[in-house]
Amino acid sequence: DHFETENLEAFGVEGFPEATRAAGGLLAYLRETQEPEDLPAFEVAGQEPISIPRPLRHLTSLSYYTNSEYMVMDESSKRNLELVRTMRDGKLKGSLFWWLDRSTTGMGGRTLLNWLHYPLLNPARINNRLDAVEYAREQHPFRLDLTELLGRVADLERLTARVSTGAANARDLIAIRDSLRLLPRIKDLLGQADASMLVEIKWGLDPMPELCDLLSAALVDEPPAALREGGLIRPGYSPEIDELEALKRDAKSVIAKMEADERARTGINSLKVRFNQVFGYYLEISKANLHLAPDDYIRKQTLANAERFITPELKELEGKILGAEERLVELHYEIFCRLRDRAAELGPTLQKNARELGRLDAVLALAELASRHRLVRPRVDDGDAIDIKAGWHPVVAELVKGERFVPNDVLLDNEERQVLIITGPNMAGKSTVLRQTALIVILAQMGSFVPADEARVGVVDRIFTRVGASDVLVRGMSTFMVEMTEAANILHHATRKSLVLLDEIGRGTSTFDGLSIAWAVAEYLHDAPGHEAKTMFATHYHELVDLSETRPRIKNFHILVREWDGKIIFLRKLVPGSTSRSYGIQVARLAGLPAPVIERAKEILQNLESVEHDPAGAPVIGKSKNGPRNPYMSQQLNFFTQPADPEKDKILDRVKSLDTNSLTPLEALAILDELKREIEKK
């Protein structure tokens, strides 16, 4: 009954009973918590009762949200990509929205935030937005004029909600009126545009002249914030208010005029109109003139030398004078409530204006962003490729102004470069490359220009991220359990159109377990039918680079690093190929670990790299120049490295030395038989 319809067919939700019940439950909750019971009504003689707006009357429609229209990002991915808040301290500054939001109005800011959370999947709709942004970017005076006008527009969305819930005051209605007055000029400017989205916005705006004229005629330009103190209604709008205002202002002269009129009527020149707190206003006639008192005079009090009378006209005037102030306050409020009720009835039109102004502001904000940062228009289509030339992370580049940000190329597709295994040391920039790729895709699909020299984006249906380490103590989930839960979600739901960012999968457990899981995850994303998502996999498990030898769509990349005079220089450039070094000890030195710890780490690393083993076959990591430090220390060996075997190496060397081109089949069989017997003896 909220929408006052027989059924919900008009809203297109008939086939979704669970969603409809959920919406109904939410509406019932809002009614219980927001709508007061027994709403009062003001009644004025000869007029219809003044109804109070229902607090939920601005909820005028119901629609079904479907994933087929928007990119899906779970909360983990939004958090890892720092779309709205930073991961470290939860602040707006440092997030993508902080960099992105150049809106002028609250409506535009909320529209941008919505576009950021729900990037589009339809290339036609995306390019429709991009056309509008491009036009606004290229037409600088057009953009400035509209931005200046929007700066004078109030937040119609919030004001409409206040009007509909009965919370609006007179200043709110004046803000609505002043905003509506700007719409004709905004529509005129939009008439210059040829971008279809801007044309749609123009035709969607309604200046609402009836409401605008009503509010202009009825309300003073600068009303008080309080509603129960009068001073709200413009002189000339209400004859009753004008009469009461005049009566309040001219009470003495009105009484003097009545006194003169009564003297003329009765012929009693000594008649006086007086006032006291007991009787109010009264007529006083001396004893000598009592015989001249008219029959309509009503005796009220007898004195020694005079009589006091009242008349119905005098009592009516008294009531007007004494009740003028109180009645004025009531009347101002009653008329204001009628105005607010009328504005609430037009709430759907006000909401539509707010939506269109929000869209316009969002387009202008993205155009300003593109102009200020020299962003480029992406090519968005239904293809499978993500091809970014000289892309850069917008937030990092903004925060490190004064330093040169190194841009990088990224090419992902479903044919040749589906999975990129990215190696390199900590602090080299692996995570930055992963995140900036996702942010460029999100920006492109929300209709924004992007931070790159060139970008082509085949529409991505979902973005998944597995970045960083965290635990959920309340739910009893360890860091590794959280990591595996997120990985499981990715593997179950990723599609060929998805983008997956994996940063250090498997590091929350032992080396063997972690490497095994990372390896299997990469294989699954490459091999599993329907789940072959475009993937960027940053890792310190250098063994994963061997996947490229058996999986044709897995390619190895690394971040360039150079050593100079014992120090490492991060070049932050993503290049083809792999690296076998993580430079962890050098990074630890940069982080300020004590020198003895650094030196000891170097010794242990040297032992591991030389694959020196104890009698039990475990790598000797506790040995130092002065002998063993701790005979019980042990560490898991590299997954693909085995202890040295001289006899095995001798056989391998012999095989390597064979000239297979000159061997006859008979000679080859003889050598093979000899090698077999030798291996069996050993």
For the chain, the average pLDDT equals 85
Cα R_g (the chain), whole angstroms = 41
Fold of 377-582: Rossmann fold (3.40.50)
| Predicted local distance difference test score (pLDDT) of residue 229 | 85
Give the HSE-up count for residue 306: Cα atoms under 13 Å, Cβ half-sphere: 13
Lowest mean pLDDT among 495-499, 520-524, 526-530, 622-626: 622-626
From-to residues of CATH 3.40.50.300 in the chain: 377-582
pLDDT in tens, 16-54: 677 777 877 877 777 777 655 444 444 444 444 444 445
In the predicted model, what is the mean pLDDT of residues 548-568?
Answer: 86
Q: How far apart are CA 433 and CA 424, in angstroms?
A: 12
The answer, yes or no, to whether residue 633 has pLDDT greater than 80, is no
Confidence of residue 7 (pLDDT cuts 50, 70, 90): low
pLDDT in tens, 253-284: 888 999 999 999 999 999 999 988 788 899 99
Q: How far apart are CA 259 and CA 314, in angstroms?
A: 10
Lowest mean pLDDT among 35-49, 311-325, 554-568: 35-49
| Predicted local distance difference test score (pLDDT) of residue 360 | 98
The answer, yes or no, to whether residue 635 has pLDDT greater than 60, is no
Lowest mean pLDDT among 294-298, 428-432, 645-649: 645-649
Top pLDDT among 203 and 6 is at 203
The answer, yes or no, to whether residue 630 has pLDDT greater than 80, is no
Q: How far apart are CA 423 and CA 407, in angstroms?
A: 17
| Predicted local distance difference test score (pLDDT) of residue 51 | 44
- pTM reported for the whole predicted model: 0.77
Lowest mean pLDDT among 25-39, 170-184, 336-350, 390-404: 25-39
465-482 in b/e form (b: 16+ CB < 10 A) is bbbeeeeeeeeeeeebeb
Give the number of other Cβ atoms within 10 Å of residue 561's Cβ.
21
| Predicted local distance difference test score (pLDDT) of residue 81 | 94
The answer, yes or no, to whether residue 156 has pLDDT greater than 70, is yes
Q: How far apart are CA 205 and CA 207, in angstroms?
A: 7
Top pLDDT among 247 and 306 is at 306
| Predicted local distance difference test score (pLDDT) of residue 306 | 94
Give the HSE-up count for residue 634: Cα atoms under 13 Å, Cβ half-sphere: 10
Confidence of residue 55 (pLDDT cuts 50, 70, 90): low
| Predicted local distance difference test score (pLDDT) of residue 204 | 97
Sheet holding 379-381, edge to edge: 379-381, 454-458, 386-391, 408-412
Question: Which residues share a beta bridge with 449?
Answer: none
Where does residue 248 rank: exposed (0-12), middle (13-18), buried (19+ CB within 10 A)? middle
Residue type for position 25: G
Indicate the DSSP class of residue 6: S
pLDDT in tens, 363-416: 999 999 999 999 999 999 999 999 999 999 999 999 987 778 999 999 999 999
515-548 in b/e form (b: 16+ CB < 10 A) is bebbbebbeebbeeeebbbbbbbbbbbbebbebb
The Cα-based distances of 594 to 122, 335, 425, 597, 630 in angstroms read: 55, 77, 20, 5, 20
Confidence of residue 610 (pLDDT cuts 50, 70, 90): low
- Of residues 441, 481, 485, 446, the one with CA closest to residue 463: 441
Where does residue 52 rank: exposed (0-12), middle (13-18), buried (19+ CB within 10 A)? middle
Give the HSE-up count for residue 355: Cα atoms under 13 Å, Cβ half-sphere: 12
Q: How far apart are CA 118 and CA 67, in angstroms?
A: 10
Top pLDDT among 569 and 139 is at 139
pLDDT in tens, 61-104: 666 666 679 999 988 899 999 999 998 888 999 999 999 999 99
